[in-house]
Structure 1
Amino acid sequence: MIRLKSPDLRGWVLLGAAALCIALPGAVTTLGNSAHAGAALEERKLPMKFSWVACQPDCRGWVSAVGVVTADSPKDFEDFARGRELNGATVVLDSSGGSVNDSIILGRHFRNLGMLTTVGISVQRGAPGERTSVMPEAYCESMCVFLLLSGKARYVPEAAHVRVHQIWMGDRADDPKAASYTAQDLMIVERDIGRLARYTFDMGGAGELLSLALSVPPWEDLHELSRAELQRTNLATTELVADVLPHTGITAVPMAELAPKAQDRVDAKASEAPTQVAKSTRTAEAVVPTGGRAATPSQ
């Protein structure tokens, strides 16, 4: 797996699949809450978890996808989706990345269901649906960025951080310059770049997205996409949060308040148990350590 670097370099695949988290204007409290921020940080280190967030009385709700994409994530999503009507539903991402190939599979599942995507941290207080909100100051890094791309409509809050970097062998992303590589390793990386390129164009993304991601080596800080780059790469298709999260029934914070003003690694290890920090596998990955402020390349 290839892992992309993010502010906290340790757990994201190519484009921020593990730490992607955003608050959606439709129900949110400020990210200033350290308790929620700390909890979200820990969740991003674990294998991706899917949950349904309900809101009352008229809001349909959305899917919360938090954590690192692993080899189990596509199957976990299939199990989660079974028996649920998810066609056209919104996925709120909070991830630092993960496995390139598994993120591609997961992203295609999202697109086949006609799902919408955004970045944020889902927060629920009281009884289910009573006070549901999405905090916008979140992170979507590494392969998470490509999951974001899978939505038929895609909204990125102004307070969210969407960051990219190169994919790399996950088991050597900690010290990429000192590691040794075989011809087989290079073949895996190039193969996965090809798969990622095809996926990007299938999802309607622009070549500039690949160019930006593949120009940042794993020993440098992730590149945070500007509002202009989000538009040029076609990652953000709407400036209206209401296009991905209906505001009716969301009472925590009116959507209007959140509306905009106008590397992954190639991992050689198997997926870990849900209670442990997700590790890379033998495919390209893009994972960021924990999401947060950019830090000096740790690996």
Structure 2
Amino acid sequence: MTDHKGTITSPSRRALLGAATIAALPGLASPAVAQGAWRPNRPVRVLVPYPPGGATDMLARLISQNLGAKLGQSLVIENRPGGSGVVATMGLLASPPDGHAVLLATADTHTVLPAANPRLPYNVAEFVPVTGVASVVFALVTRPGLPVTSVSQLVELAKNTPQPLTYASYGVASASHAAGEMFCLASGTTMVHVPYQGAGPAVLAITADQVDVMMVPVAVANPQRARLRMLAVASAERFAMVPDVPTMAEAGLPMVADAWIGLLAAPGTTPAMAEALNAAVQEVLATPEFGNVLRTNGFTKLAYGPTRFAEFLRQESARWGQVVREAHITIES
């Protein structure tokens, strides 16, 4: 999410130093909203669907630290975990569509979950895209005792083992769950899903040889490299955090399984409001320091404006929705 489940990682010292560096940049003090454009007239609430301390929360705080000066109003972080993002989303839905509340949503909360749960009390397509901020890079990892060192060997073993292999995820109907099923569909294999409550416990199960495989954010797996095997990254290009690890395509299985994070506004928010908010966010995202914070914490930058982000979300809905349907991932509440 992810962390996508609020547990990817606590803000690293480097991230916090990066945040301080961004806040100190003199260039960030200038107004970002064009003269005559819409501006907020009171503090802007940023709803985060995860507890404090996770990667999504960290991004919300890094952005908010510098956004207030550009908008002329302070930003208030509201952590509203629960219901795989439903609690925070309902909080945004109940807010007036006046640009004074946004949600830092994720692929888990607003792409995979809606595809798996047709009974959500809202239509995610009605929320107004503001800014596509970043994406989480996933890696394919295995437990240390599994006798494979490459993707091709893993596929061969999965197809020929008497007992099905198991794969972990950080929750049912999460991006990690869907990414695991995407691997199975792409490789023509069948594995048994073992969900955990968060990415941290799932990775610990991998390192303890309790479960065979996982599609997990690189930032979660990388600190455990000595205790697991990272076979490939599921991104279009190699990732700077682990430059020695091939992409899935290089490993012979072309697939991309990354998970977006972005800002959404309440249904009915005007395009002028979305554009004004996005203009301010883009200046924060454009700093080299912010880009460094993203890379060192396992993200790639998107920096999509409202129009491009809206199209991107439609594409992601189709891409992940197909996986959810073909893998029969369902969750109802």
Q: Fold-level match, TM-score > 0.5?
A: no
Provide TM-score, normalisation by structure 1: 0.32
More helix per residue: 2
Provide TM-score, normalisation by structure 2: 0.29
- Higher radius of gyration, 1 or 2: 2
| Larger relative contact order (Cα-Cα within 8 Å, sequence gap ≥ 6) | 1
